[in-house]
Amino acid sequence: MICKRCGILILLVSGVIIISFYTNRLWGPEPERKGYEENLVIQPEMTIGEFGRVNEIPQEVLIEIFTITRPDDTLKTLNSTGYSTNRILLKTRTGITQYAEEHSKNPVRFTIHFVLYLIFLCIVFVLIRKSGITPGIRKALYLAAIVIFGFGFNSNPSPMGPLRDSMALFGNPVEIIHPRLFAILTFLVFVVVANKFICGWACQLGVLQDLIFRLNRNNTDTKSLTRQYKIPFSVSNAIRIIFFTVASLLSFLWAFNLIENIDPFNFFNPGNASLLVWIFVGIIVCLSVFVYRPWCLLFCPFGLLGWLFEKISIYRISIRFDQCTLCGKCADSCPSDAMKAILESKVTRPDCFVCGTCMNVCSDNAIHFSASTKVNGPPKSRIQHP
């Protein structure tokens, strides 16, 4: 059984890499997120036209920076514009970044992606609400998400992508680009409506990790074939906060985008992956066999932000304690400590990706994905003290 699962794992990982190489050609190469990182050549005695030619600045960006209204304006020196050197550099980097953003986005691709998000998540939402997610259906849906959002759209968009890019933009520094802010807010809306639904079911890297993890579990998805570990949430969240803090400081103080340099989403965009990325991806893949969603719980910046917004989610996993017999099967089968915290009615809960495993094993029909926000624990008379 274990050898068979190892074979499936190797086939899955190699298949993703190989197919991603070919599907990248469908949309063309992933646009480089550069421009604001390049060193600009600037001298006060330069004319605006020379400044643009030397730095290969697009004409429309140059017009926006210096408010050019006629051709003769390009003969003015930078000194005569009234802008300081730092102001010119800031406006130029901002302009180049916005220009690259506007010209790199495929509006058709963007629209199709979000329409598919809505359709796919609505289907999963209905299945979860009706307790229709079986272990087999879960794996099939994960595979479908990998095909649609991984092969179909490669590494971007993803829930983490806009936040990663915004961190880099702040650190250089430039202002937030509106499409990224819109994307972040859209993903957070998904979290507010239905918990970590977007991460749990439509994030290409998230579902890949989840599928790998479940290849090391039995057919009923209740026990692991080889030992799997649940990292205490206090530890995993502390690591995630430290990683986010370090990445932010590196971006703000030294303009170094740590997340970009190890971005595991390039697993779906192998042509852009560096050696460092492949090493990190290899670590994530290996960890996923034994630890549930290691990137999501230990590193992902959107995972951390989404966890904060989970507190106000409308739909979430809840327990009807008038039906619950406190058998503990849900907590035992849950791939993380989320269900244990929900069962104990803890205020601080680990990330719940609404996988539905707890609902599969509950023989009391006490676990539901509902809009109930009432947090009542089991009656004290039913709590068994040691």
Token output for 266: 């390039």
In a domain, 344, yes or no: yes
Q: Do 17 and 141 lie in a common domain?
A: yes
Q: Minimal CA–CA distance to 291: which of 213, 239, 214, 204?
A: 213
* pLDDT reported for residue 107: 66
* pLDDT reported for residue 89: 81
How far apart CA 166 and CA 160 sit, in angstroms, is: 10
Structural domain count of the chain: 3
* pLDDT reported for residue 376: 56
How far apart CA 45 and CA 230 sit, in angstroms, is: 62
Q: Do 263 and 353 lie in a common domain?
A: no
Fill in the amino acid letter for 343. L
Residue 118's domain comprises 2-30+108-308
In a domain, 35, yes or no: no
Q: Do 173 and 76 lie in a common domain?
A: no
Q: Do 331 and 299 lie in a common domain?
A: no
Report whether 217 contacts 140 (CB < 8 A). no
DSSP 146: I
How far apart CA 182 and CA 184 sit, in angstroms, is: 6
In a domain, 168, yes or no: yes
Q: Do 171 and 296 lie in a common domain?
A: yes
The secondary element (H helix, E strand) that includes residue 311 is none
Final residue in a domain of this structure, among 308, 330, 361: 308
pLDDT at 275 over 50: yes
Mean pLDDT of the chain: 83
Lowest mean pLDDT among 74-78, 216-220, 292-296, 380-384: 380-384
pLDDT at 335 over 90: yes
* pLDDT reported for residue 173: 47
- For 217-274, the pLDDT digits (tens) are 998 888 898 999 999 999 999 999 999 999 888 877 776 778 888 989 888 888 778 8
In a domain, 341, yes or no: yes
In order of 145, 185, 204, 277, the CA distances from 263 in angstroms are 19, 21, 13, 6
Q: Which residue has the higher pLDDT, 98 or 357?
A: 357
Q: Do 67 and 151 lie in a common domain?
A: no
pLDDT mean over 17-27: 75
Query: Sorting pLDDT into bands at 50, 70 and 90, what band is 35?
Result: very low
Token output for 302: 């959107």
Q: Do 182 and 234 lie in a common domain?
A: yes
- For 134-180, the pLDDT digits (tens) are 999 999 999 999 988 888 776 666 777 767 766 655 544 444 455 66
In a domain, 38, yes or no: no
pLDDT at 62 over 70: yes
- For 362-379, the pLDDT digits (tens) are 999 999 999 865 545 665
pLDDT at 292 over 90: yes
In a domain, 40, yes or no: no
Final residue in a domain of this structure, among 247, 274, 308: 308
In a domain, 36, yes or no: no
Q: Do 148 and 267 lie in a common domain?
A: yes
